[in-house]
Homo-oligomer: A and B are copies of this chain.
Amino acid sequence: MSSNGSAAWRVYLSGEIHSDWRERIADGVREAGLAVELLAPVTDHSASDDVGVDILGPESDSFWKDHKGAGVNAVRTQTLLRSADVVVVRFGDKYRQWNAAFEAGYAAALGKPLVTLHDPELTHALKEVDRAALATAETPEQVVEILTYAVAGPGVPR
C-alpha cells in the first residue's frame, strides 16, 4: 500500500526564466497525470522588471525602480513560496540568478523539501545550495521523475 493523500501537491518552480524548463516539467506532470499544482514567479522578464514603476509610478534612480519592482514581485513569490510543499530551484548558465539562491535559502530555513536543477559544470559554484537540497537533477525530466515517485509512488510506470 502506498498512499500520498488526495490533495494536490504544491510545487514552486523558482529560478531561471530564459529557458523552457518549466514547460518541460509541466508537460511531464500532465503526461504522468500527477496531482501536482505548479507555482511560479512571473516569468515575463520585462513585465517583471517594470512592474514596480508601471503600477506605482516612475523612478529616476534605477536602484529604487528595481526596489519597487522587486517588492511587487515578492508579493507573489513570498506567498507562493510559503504555501509550497516542495521547492524546485533552477540555475542556468546566464545571469547571476541570485534571486534563485535567495529563494533556495528562504525555503531551506522554512524546512521545505528542496530540489535543485542545473548543469554539472555549475556543481562547484552551487555546492552549498545543493548541500541543502534533497536531490540535484540535471534535466527537467529527472525532476518530473522525482515528483512522480514522490507523489504517485513507483507503481506508476516511468
Contact = CB atoms under 8 A, between A and B. Distances in A.
Interface of A: 1-10, 13, 22-23, 26, 37-44, 47-48, 51-52, 55-56, 59-64, 66-76, 78-80, 82-83, 85-86, 91, 95-111, 113, 115, 120, 123-138, 142, 145-147, 149-151, 153-155
A13 to B, nearest CB: 8
Total copies of the chain: 8
Contacts of A80: 4-5
B131 A67 contact: yes
Contact of A102 (B7, B22, B132, B137): B132
B5 A70 contact: no
Nearest to A77: B128
Contacts of A125: 95-96, 98
Contacts of A61: 59, 61, 64
Contact of A79 (B86, B91, B95, B142): B86
Contact of A99 (B75, B97, B128): B128
Nearest to A47: B154
